[in-house]
Amino acid sequence: MIDFTDEQIERYSRHIILPEVGGQGQQKMLEAKVLLLGAGGLGSPAAYYLAAAGIGNLGIIDFDRVDLSNLQRQIIHSTKRIGMLKTESAKKTIQDLNPDVKVTLYNEKLDSKNIMKLIDEYDYIVDGSDNFPTRYLVNDACVITGKTIIHGSIYRFEGQVTVFKPGDGPCYRCLYPEPPPPGMAPNCQEGGVLGVLAGVIGNLQVVEVLKLVLGIGKPLIGGLLIYDALNTEFRKLKLRKDVDCPVCGESPTIKELVDYEEFCGLPR
Amino acid sequence: MAVKVRIPTPLMKLTDNQAEVTAEGSTISEILNNLESQFNGIKERICEENGSPRRFINVYLNEEDIRFLDGERTAVKDGDEISIIPAIAGGTGAR
């Protein structure tokens, strides 16, 4: 059943010797299908380590191109690749690192028309998107289809991670039923971010993906992990399923996908 | 009753950049009013006009969301910790 090449046995030896992983766990990882929403701040480190771990099928959605200002944190790209599509750049880095990984690229913008088809192919969705319309769209689509979201966000010196697994725990709308109106919440480039924070949070997302794929440990379902870099503190808050949640509650009012109008940070 | 309140990064402009402040009160509602008396304008950022937290901001008493306790009427005691957690979308930071 497990049919590793000599090279694979060597490449994954530090996984295979872990009793919690073993050859079977490594096989599960090679068969896993993970979709990354964005190859930016969180998606870069996440894609890189998922590939190193031997997650065998990675999808990457991004329509953007590599910019010099990305390279402070988006380590999957490089100076030579400025101007290249982020998906193409990420694929190149991943293939140089681990040719076992099959990378599928989607150079498009996620919306209510394409999301169902895109997520259908995957088991786990790594959400590192930088705007509320995408967060809500992804949440609703994953509640409807029963896909698990590994959610991360970063802002200045602070990051958050959680796992939304439909049926087993709350969804994003249980936390925040509606997106904030424009100007009321920060997002996008406003305020900046300590670059390495993307690495910390993106990799915490990867840890959760691997645990879910392997079926080991306690995944971060129903918990919000907050990392405060300035004070070197991790805190964990409880997230509860809201029976009145508009999408996963007892009488859902949202049954179709909503395209919220895009906005970015404070009014200009 | 003095409790510690964690201020989220986006609201730290209102607290002279303090991530942690102390507030007095025996319920969440009193704590929020006390915060307002110390830091003018902060309550309006956290709450609707009726005094309950906005739909994109959650208030936690220790590790529990007050929506699953008694809301703004939730009692607090010495040594409790309150966290204000707004929705944040920063991630890819593409542009």
DSSP H/E element including A150: strand A148-155
What whole-number distance in Å separates Cα of residue B30 and Cα of residue B52?
A: 12
CB A114 within 8 A of CB A25: no
CB A36 within 8 A of CB A43: yes
CB contact (8 A) between residue B85 and residue A226: yes
Q: Could you say which DSSP state residue A193 is in?
A: B
Per-domain residue ranges of chain B? 2-86
For residue A106, being part of any structural domain is answered with: yes
B91 touches chain A (CB under 8 A): yes
For residue A255, being part of any structural domain is answered with: no
CB contacts under 8 A, B 33-72 vs A, are 54-56, 58, 60, 63-65, 67-68
Which positions of chain A have pLDDT values less than 70? 1, 183-191, 262-268
For residue A260, being part of any structural domain is answered with: no
Q: Rounded to a whole number, what is the distance in Å from the CA of A175 to chain B's nearest CA?
A: 7
CB contact (8 A) between residue B56 and residue A156: no
Chain B CA closest to residue A63? B94
What whole-number distance in Å separates Cα of residue A175 and Cα of residue A242?
A: 8
Tokens of A146: 């029963």
Any bridge partners for residue B21, and if so which? B5
As for how many domains chain A has, the answer is 1
Q: Which residues of B touch A268 (CB under 8 A)?
A: none
CB B57 within 8 A of CB B33: no
Residue A23 has φ and ψ, to the nearest 5°, of -65, -35
CB contact (8 A) between residue B90 and residue A130: yes
DSSP H/E element including A13: helix A13-16
Global pTM value: 0.93
Closest CA to A47 of A169, A231, A236, A203: A203
Q: Rounded to a whole number, what is the distance in Å from the CA of A62 to chain B's nearest CA?
A: 10
Q: Rounded to a whole number, what is the distance in Å from the CA of A17 to chain B's nearest CA?
A: 34
What whole-number distance in Å separates Cα of residue A138 and Cα of residue A264?
A: 18
Three-state DSSP at B5 gives: strand
- For residue range A79-91, what is the model confidence (pLDDT) as tens digits? 999 999 999 999 9
For A181, residues 6+ apart whose C-beta sits below 8 A from its C-beta are none
For residue A76, being part of any structural domain is answered with: yes
Residue A99 has φ and ψ, to the nearest 5°, of -65, -10
DSSP H/E element including A224: strand A223-228
CB A181 within 8 A of CB B57: no
Q: Which residues of A touch B86 (CB under 8 A)?
A: 180, 185
For residue A201, being part of any structural domain is answered with: yes
Q: Which residues of B touch A64 (CB under 8 A)?
A: 92, 94-95
CATH number for the domain spanning A75: value is: 3.40.50.720
Task: State the residue range of the domain holding A227.
Answer: 9-238
Tell me how crowded residue A245 is: count the other CB atoms within 10 A of its CB.
21
Task: List the pLDDT tens digit at each of the 95 positions of chain B.
Answer: 899 999 998 899 999 999 999 999 999 999 999 999 999 999 999 999 998 999 999 999 999 999 999 999 999 999 999 999 998 876 544 43
Alpha-carbon distances of B17 from A43, B12, B20, B33, B59, rounded to whole Å: 30, 5, 9, 19, 19
For residue A254, being part of any structural domain is answered with: no
Is the complex ipTM higher than 0.85? yes
Detail the DSSP E strand segments found in chain B.
2-6, 20-24, 57-61, 64-65, 81-86
Closest CA to A28 of A124, A99, A120: A124
DSSP H/E element including A141: helix A132-145
For residue A262, being part of any structural domain is answered with: no
CATH level 3 topology of B2-86: Ubiquitin-like (UB roll) (3.10.20)
Q: Which of A136, A237, A264 to mutate to test the interface with B (most CBs of B within 10 A)?
A: A237
What whole-number distance in Å separates Cα of residue A93 and Cα of residue A89?
A: 6
User: What is the DSSP annotation of A31-74?
Assistant: H-EEEEE-SSTTHHHHHHHHHHHT-SEEEEE---B--GGGTTT-
pLDDT of residue B94: 40
